[in-house]
Structure 1
Amino acid sequence: MAHCGGDPAEAVRHLAAAIAAAPSDPESYAVLADLWRDRPADLAGVVDGGTSLPAVLALSYVSFLRGDMDTAALAMGSVTGARPDVAWADAPWFGDDRFLGSVSADALAEAAMRTMDHGHDLDSDGMRERVRPWRAAFDAVVAGRPAAQALARMAIMLRACGLVEASLELCDRADAVERVMFTEVVRAGTWRKAGDTERMVAAFERALVLDPANWSLHLDLADVRAEQGDFAEAARLAGEGLRHEPAEPALRAAAAAYRARHTGAPADLSTLIEVAPLLPNPAYRDLLIDLACAGPGLPAELLATARGLRAG
């Protein structure tokens, strides 16, 4: 504190820089623990509600010292998402038995999801090395407090890091706890990443068996069949989804687009033109418009109107 002018916020920034340089070095954590012991109110004023990376990083360890392991995990996920190039999880406390024995599966799963919040590419050799402490934490929590949905969410992180086999293994472990639709959706996404379309489709179909009224699953399968060029089946699947959620714009747009692509019916392209402005995702809207406009024999004036709705 002396060379930080007695300012706890400056001390936290200094310690964060030291931890970033050597996340596994216990010295910086010892200094932070001393600061927490000597000036808890001042340090709490910095970390509680703080949004800067140094504040959230300090919160992770302070929460560990408080015995609030769920908050410690969530903060670790947040700083990893912000700077995945740093091996934050090499922190000694993250592998401590007190943490691993108390953190909930749900909190650890949410922490894993937070590592992807900023959209960084995690599929690299470096990240696969930095994720080792996370995998160890997953194993410890799975052994003592398994929860199917939480395990599937953890598997999403492993998939993002390019650890396809490990992701699928965690999905299998989730199934051993309880078979739920979400695990099959995660498994489908992992098979997609692996480039295995048939296994992806099979996983989506199993998900639909587990939750047959889920319109989103119908749309997922419809989109996959459209990617494969089977527009008749894509239109049928989207239509099945409309039976469960007839007002959903994405389903209406997809069903119309796939029918237009398959049959060249002007009425279907007109429906797409009506619904397309309601779609929140410009890339998906443009994809549906492009597919529909490739339908046979569609009128030029309708094609011009549809293409005029494209975002770019």
Structure 2
Amino acid sequence: MPTRPRRSRLYRALLAALVVASVAVPLSGAARPSAVPAPVPPSLAPIRAATPAALAERYAATRDAIRSAERMADAHGDRRRAATLRAMAEPARQLLSFDGRDGGRSAEVFGDLSAAERIAVLVPGSDTSLDSYERLRAGAAALAEELGGRSAVIAWLGYRTPATVGPEVLTPGRAEDAAPLLRSFVAELSTLRPAARISLICHSYGSVVCGRAAGGTNAAGRTAGKAPGREAGPVARVTDIVLYGSPGSGADNVAALGTTATVWAGRGADDWISEVPHTRLSLPFAEVGLGADPVSPEFGARVFAAGDGGHSDYLKPGSVPLRNIALIAAGKVPSEGDRHA
């Protein structure tokens, strides 16, 4: 028979789901960035080698696609989106991929991928789109600066993120859709830079995406859903998975992730995510909840110090969590942190 604290956690999770569903569902989509039209991006041939010339050719092709999307956004009258795309198309920017539809998808490189010995793939959480992309970009740039030479950071906006206030952020559905895309992307990086150390740096709901991608299975142990032409196996050649500001990974413990990577977790002392109920309920219409707290002893991750900041402070220049995340990505040992269970 469940103990009273466990029943309380279950009730909190169910109550949260019901409140969000009844209040937020009518509002979700009202201000979504997917309303801005964008052209179908051209089909680009795979990059055969991570040489400076091959990468420059890909960056130029992606730049052309961004400019096409900028023109369409401008014609639609969305000046904010057009300005964002105009900045993304600047010659100094390095984008491996871009799709302006449905809120936007992109993968931007910070650093020299052709010479990188360490690659950190930054996986964002909820409410990340082209219209809020600058937050992701700033964090990626700060991490690249902290890592230093012979490193590359990739800001991977490769999936449709859920809204922070909405029912989907309480379920692993968006993460299950995103996981095969992330696995495919990392496999491509592994082919391009076979000797590089690759880390997944996963913020907030991005932790669920990384958790689903880690072992190729969902929390119930079933093979995760495949997208056509994409592998459903575990994410390839990842050395470390860093979960920070995490509501959960979609699993009850590190072993359930099914990965050989070292799993790290950190949470700032002032991060509101600590108030999220860390449990999972299987309801007739959906799975609600995102699993165990990644910084709890029961989860089994290696906990690193994440400072006193809030949910958006982890990659601020000069911060404790930024320094420790960079150390992990570089294959070094970060300072240990307290578990805020």
TM-score by length of structure 1 reads 0.30
Higher RCO, 1 vs 2 (CA within 8 Å, ≥6 residues apart) = 2
Structure with higher Rg: it is 1
Q: TM-score, normalised by structure 2?
A: 0.28
Q: Which has the higher strand share?
A: 2
